[in-house]
Amino acid sequence: MSIPKTRIASVVLVAVSVLVAGAAPQQLLPVDEAPRQPDFFSFRAQLQTAVSRHDVEAVVGFVNKDIKNSFGGDDGIDGFRRIWKPNDADSTLWAELGAVLALGGTFSGDHSFTAPYVFSRWPNQFDGFEHVALVASDVRIREAPRADAAALTTLSFAILPVVRSKGIAEVDGWTAVQLDGRKSGYVVSRLTRSPIDYRAMFNKINGRWQMTFFAAGD
């Protein structure tokens, strides 16, 4: 059976259009396995409450005595206090830990949980230093780093390459991202997350959940 020439032309036109448009960015959809274990879910809820209240001693009570605070030493609870200075009015602990806890995470076995999902589920084929994930749906990518700039496209939970100018990808709360190899745009930085941003690990030790790691970098 012969295929009409008009149909062949239509198929070719669609194929060319797909190639020109480029493949859609890969998504990294949110995951939160915490509800699988009620004791951990309750532990996390209590920690989130302590963070929201800026309750220093309550938060420290959730921290393991040997917590890893960085990749350069300074571990333990005393190191945690030195790094974060939680009693200072301008401590960034509350924002950073609050963001990590809000972004879900995954279990590794029954006694270990890692947050956020952007780190624990990051696809290996993407360089974590050169990409970010959108952590919301219907995020507008704008042609300039301004809220009133025209939107180039709208994406949900996409992984995008960052664009650096003089080594910097973020300016005034906006992150520059690559869209399709030719076009670049800007997204509000609070709607993005890098897998090398702060992440936390929790372990159940002697029947009690504790935060055993809280650091950024690689």
Say if residue 69 is in the same domain as residue 102.
Answer: yes
Per-residue model confidence as pLDDT tens digits over 7-65: 433 333 333 333 334 578 999 999 999 999 999 999 999 999 999 999 999 999 999 99
Say if residue 92 is in the same domain as residue 180.
Answer: no
Q: State pTM to two decimals.
A: 0.86
Say if residue 39 is in the same domain as residue 117.
Answer: yes
How many domains would you assign to the chain? 2
**What integer best gives the mean pLDDT of the chain?**
89
Per-residue model confidence as pLDDT tens digits over 69-102: 999 888 999 999 999 999 999 999 999 999 999 9
Write out 47-98 in H/E/C secondary structure.
HHHHHHCCCHHHHHHCEEEEEECCCCCCCHHHHHHHHHCCCCCCCCHHHHHH
Say if residue 135 is in the same domain as residue 210.
Answer: no
CATH number, domain containing residue 168: 2.30.30.40
